[in-house]
A and B are shown apart, each in its own frame.
Chain A
Amino acid sequence: MSHLTEAERQGLAEGSITADRGAALAAHLSGCAECAADVEQLRSIVQRVHDLPAPVGALDGLWPDIGTRIEGAKVRALSAHDVRPVAGRRLRHVAWLGGAVAAAACIAAGVYLRGRPAADAGPAPNGAAALQPAVDSSRTSQADIQRLLDEIQMEKAMLPPATAAVADSDLRAIDAAIAELREALARDPNNPAIRQLLAESYRQQQDLLTRLHNAS
């Protein structure tokens, strides 16, 4: 008697085999411990797979905690005109070369830049004065990010050592950049280029945290 095929076993496990065909296969299972055990294992796998959350590429829906907190930071710190409208299910944010405010607000708000650049990505107001609220709020958000960094230590511990080392080096590189930029900003508070670079570093940090979270 030949064993059940892979397709037959997987079909039995997920219940997609027709009743009459299923009866014949069930007869085999009752007399074959090997196939029965495999179908049983597959059933539990299929159950686990159904229970798994779908993998997501972005912050929204992936990380409710960070999303909620950062949304909170946005509401606290950003005035309405700094927050650009989002389109669609996936927060297709529009900081596309839109200028400093959009970029900084993007970081402060924790909105993940993953959208197709929309046609309405007009020029944003520029200049140091316009930047002030966004940078203030990025400080708020930075505290949240630090807490999340602490929380994520657990997840990092689950990574293969070589990958954890890479993640550590990346985090350190970003931290060093942020520290250097903050120092430069303290010396030259009205330099828009420093602010833009700082906003970019926060974006990098947040991207990395999302990737790290996806790894676990």
Chain B
Amino acid sequence: MRRNRIAARRLAACLTVAAATVLWVAPPACAQARTPLLRARHLAGDAPVKVFFPSGAITIQAWDRDSIDVRGTIARGERFYLAGGDHGVKVGVMDHVDGTPVRPSTIVVRVPRRSEVSVKTVAASIDARDASGWFYSVSGPIRLTGAASSLEVESMAGDVSLDVAAPWVRARTGGGRLAIAGAPQDLDAATVRGALDVDHAAVVHGRFASVEGDIRFAGALPGGGLFEFSNHAGRVALVLPNTASALVDLSTITGVIDNAFTQIRPVAGQGGRGGTLHVQLGPGAARVTVRTFKGTITLAKESP
């Protein structure tokens, strides 16, 4: 109760200062000043940063300084560390030798923009903005935003959400949902059982795969774009704008093809099972291939 009151008073003070100097003090500076500084040090602009953070929430932000800065609150009894030199550091909270769960902490790590970060968590959520590198969680959700030079994202069981501009992105999750937006130019995305949703992302080359999860791609296809979808048992739904220009090649071994885009009906496969459908939409500037074993393939028009 008392802590809440103090927090409320602090927040009020913070807001008052922010309101009084709205053009001069951005509210995040207030929040930042409040979060205890755990450690800061000089770091070469392209130095690798390796992070192990088992539990809680970690935020990574790239900044235009040659230094690393870690703020946050470490759970009582857990040990934070930052080790290394100007040309690379390892940061994190140690796990327990006896395998007992690590209590959740919260940290914000600021790294040089050109750093290649490697972040691994067990249950902790990862939220990164403008950071490039490798992001891995066993079960925590991963959310990446901003611009990056390349991204590799993997989760065993957690949800992965990407809204990034990057020339190269590789994303994997098993049972979690994989949601993609932004502009990942060359994208290799896969789930095992989780849904894979691509929502108006500016993809140029895309490879999308699942075993049982439904794949839904909504949005435009750029001229010269290459898209390959494969699914074993899950659906593949392409929802394309009326103006789409693509050569579309759909095939399923035992599933159904549902074409709501054109009048052309699919050709049934051997013994009447499965089928194939080849259609040209508009001038046919992009190439799209969809294969499933038994998952339904649908081709639909985006409602204007």
Q: Which residues of A are at the interface with B, using a C-beta cutoff of 8 A?
A: 6-7, 10, 13-14, 16, 41-42, 45-46, 48-50, 52, 54-58, 96-97, 113-114, 116-117, 158-160, 162-163, 166-167, 169-170, 173-174, 177, 180-181, 184, 188, 191, 193-194, 196-197, 200-201, 203-204, 207-208, 210-212, 214-215
Contact = CB atoms under 8 A, between A and B. Distances in A.
B118 A184 contact: no
Interface residues of B, number: 63
Contact of B291 (A159, A160, A196): A196
Contacts of A203: 209
A212 B156 CA distance: 7
B131 to A, nearest CB: 14
A97 B226 contact: yes
| A-B residue pairs, 3 tightest by C-beta | A166-B157, A57-B134, A177-B232
B42 to A, nearest CB: 10
B253 A55 contact: no
25 contacts: A6-B39, A14-B83, A48-B94, A50-B83, A55-B50, A56-B134, A96-B186, A97-B205, A113-B188, A114-B170, A114-B188, A159-B138, A160-B139, A163-B157, A166-B139, A167-B156, A170-B192, A170-B193, A181-B232, A194-B293, A196-B230, A200-B209, A201-B211, A211-B156, A211-B172
A208 B174 contact: yes
Of the listed residues B99, B118, B175, B254, the one surrounded by the most CB atoms of chain A closer than 10 A to its CB is B175
A55 B118 contact: yes
Contacts of B219: none
B113 interface: no
Given A7-B39, A54-B50, A55-B50, A193 B253 contact: yes
Contacts of B293: 177, 180-181, 184, 194, 197
A166 B190 CA distance: 16
A56 B212 CA distance: 27
Of the listed residues A57, A97, A117, A196, the one surrounded by the most CB atoms of chain B closer than 10 A to its CB is A57
Contacts of B80: 6
Contacts of B122: 160, 215
Contact of B212 (A14, A173, A188): A173
A167 B80 CA distance: 29
Contacts of B150: 116
Interface in B67-119: 79-85, 90, 94, 99, 101, 118
Nearest to A214: B136
Contact of A207 (B40, B190, B228): B190
Contact of B81 (A7, A42, A193): A42
B207 interface: yes
Given A113-B188, A208-B174, A211-B172, A52 B90 contact: yes
B168 interface: yes
Given A7-B39, A114-B170, A207-B172, A174 B118 contact: no
Contacts of B41: 16
A10 B79 contact: no
A96 B205 contact: yes
B192 A208 contact: yes
B270 interface: yes
A160 B83 contact: no
Contacts of B186: 96, 116-117
B152 interface: yes
Nearest to A113: B188
Contacts of A41: 79
A169 B213 CA distance: 13
Contacts of A6: 38-39, 80
Nearest to B233: A177
B80 to A, nearest CB: 8
A173 B211 contact: yes
Given A166-B156, A169-B175, A10 B207 contact: no
Given A45-B94, A57-B118, A166-B156, A193 B251 contact: yes
B212 A160 contact: no
Contacts of A114: 152, 170, 188
A10 B136 contact: no
A203 B170 CA distance: 14
B146 interface: no
Contact of B90 (A49, A116, A188, A201): A49
Contacts of B226: 96-97
B209 A214 contact: no
A135 to B, nearest CB: 16
Given A208-B192, A214-B154, A191 B253 contact: yes
Contacts of B289: 97
A45 B292 CA distance: 49
B190 A201 contact: no
Contact of B168 (A13, A116, A204): A116
